[in-house]
Chains A and B, each alone.
Chain A
């Protein structure tokens, strides 16, 4: 029973947070917005519109109805991912279509690289925390600090300068080559294009996960139950594997979920550096041309993504720590 209550509680919390953030977004995007979005759009089009035409656009965008109704409409649209048509980038096309085109490319990049950096960071972090101030820990600590201090786009450009500029191992950008390839060759081509952005995102967050896992393990190693385990004569290997690591993983899960917002931010700049045609690049284009419908889409989709990541973290937490479920 406790498990279901825990699940339902977390789902309710997720929904509440989503509603709160969307309301905040409505306040910012619609109520508080300085300047008239329709006029901005008209200016960006570089064409002359008569007041009647502008009024027509305003009506199409649903900006001529009272604010409370706009609020209901905004919430409904956001929850169904209906952001209207793109205004500047690709006029007349649905924003959701634009997003779905880039979503797959971005998802595969984000998910695989994040998984890899979590795995590498956590494993190295366990090792480093266990053999504190050993050779591996000291060098991993230095590298982690530098990676942590480096903006993702700087890392990406360094990799381009080395791997695409000096040794020509990988192409410096885009999703695939201009020549049409089919079957296996095409996948190899795509993988080669994805290599550098993937490596950038992986390295960019591995340092953070290393630092988090290491300090979490160090916290746990100071606990009394570790001394007890040792006093019982359990071999060090098992003290680490059975007693220390599972408990040290718990705070790490929360921190990984919280850093997901930063990962999404990193993806936008990395996709820009590598002109990778995912949702990050789309968001950048929307920003450059002030396409507010697409920007709203970016915001809502990233909020949903972060909330889902947090929800998954909560589930994992509940699975690993029975105390949370019962509480």
Chain B
């Protein structure tokens, strides 16, 4: 970080509070105000706020799960409880076939599911942004090659590929994140490219270049900030898809056996015959969690899209 040239702030000279800001402060002030405007609009979006509250709730649960007593999950310790009992006062979500509380399983699963979703979405966002910006900013040849690659990943039947990869590399938490991230960036790349194409012809980019800005500066300082809201909204939607993808992989028995996500809990319940035993609580508790979280991310993403994209807002 370079230090800014010393500017005499109003406080220093004891002058009345006339706003005299450095460019950096000005930028920060502008961002803060934009964020404030965004929040004001978001607050009035009912679906968005509902989604956000669900997410806050699950985030708290996930954080709680780090400190929660792990003994409740250990079949050798927790078998004191009744087996396959329905919801009751002591076991609000019932118990599974070893007498472990389903509530404890679901709490533990929240951390894994959310973490995998976030991690995969971050990888996907990073790849999609870099490839999309590169393709959109560079001219013909690079653009054509990168878009061909994007098209390939766009049509790739992701689960078939993920199955083969997971079968080869083993059932590991990080591998799962990597697989989902690597197979889901194509949509983001297309979106980012389209945005870059529309932004890069604007006059302020030309002005910056006329002042001698290099590609790096133009991309990072002028194009990137313009795309940030769109990329952010897209990432939120990608998290939802990543959580769904993770649950599918886990349901096929590809989840990490050491850290069980919601999908893995459903898989175990299904494998142990919860359907024929009518142990619906064992199946439905983690299922409802998945649906709620995915729904919440989708609602927040849609709400953000609506605010960012004026075309949608006008309707």
Contact = CB atoms under 8 A, between A and B. Distances in A.
A17 B152 CA distance: 6
B5 to A, nearest CB: 48
A290 B157 contact: no
A172 B314 contact: no
Interface string A270-286: 00110000000001100
A312 interface: no
A21 B247 contact: no
B157 A261 contact: yes
A87 to B, nearest CB: 13
A308 B310 CA distance: 36
A282 to B, nearest CB: 12
Contacts of B314: 222
Given A17-B152, A153-B248, A154-B291, A290 B275 contact: no
A222 B291 contact: no
A284 B155 contact: no
Interface string A214-239: 01001101100000000000000000
A260 B270 CA distance: 26
Nearest to B187: A258
Contacts, number: 139
Interface stretch (B82-90, B209-217, B228-236, B294-302): B294-302
Given A157-B270, A283-B160, A269 B251 contact: yes
Interface stretch (B17-25, B34-42, B93-101, B163-171): B163-171
B161 interface: yes
Interface residues of A, number: 56
A288 interface: yes
A264 interface: yes
B253 interface: yes
A253 B155 CA distance: 14
Contacts of B155: 17, 258, 261, 303, 306-307, 310
Interface string A5-44: 0000000000011001100100011000111000000000
B178 to A, nearest CB: 13
Interface of A: 16-17, 20-21, 24, 28-29, 33-35, 132, 145-146, 148-154, 157-158, 160-161, 165, 172, 215, 218-219, 221-222, 258, 261-262, 264-265, 268-269, 272-273, 283-284, 287-288, 290, 292, 295-296, 298-299, 302-303, 305-307, 310
11 contacts: A28-B161, A146-B295, A151-B248, A154-B287, A158-B284, A222-B311, A264-B159, A268-B252, A269-B248, A295-B164, A303-B157
Interface of B: 148-149, 151-152, 154-161, 163-165, 167-169, 240, 244, 247-248, 251-254, 263, 266, 270, 275, 278, 280, 283-284, 287, 290-291, 294-295, 298-299, 311-312, 314-315
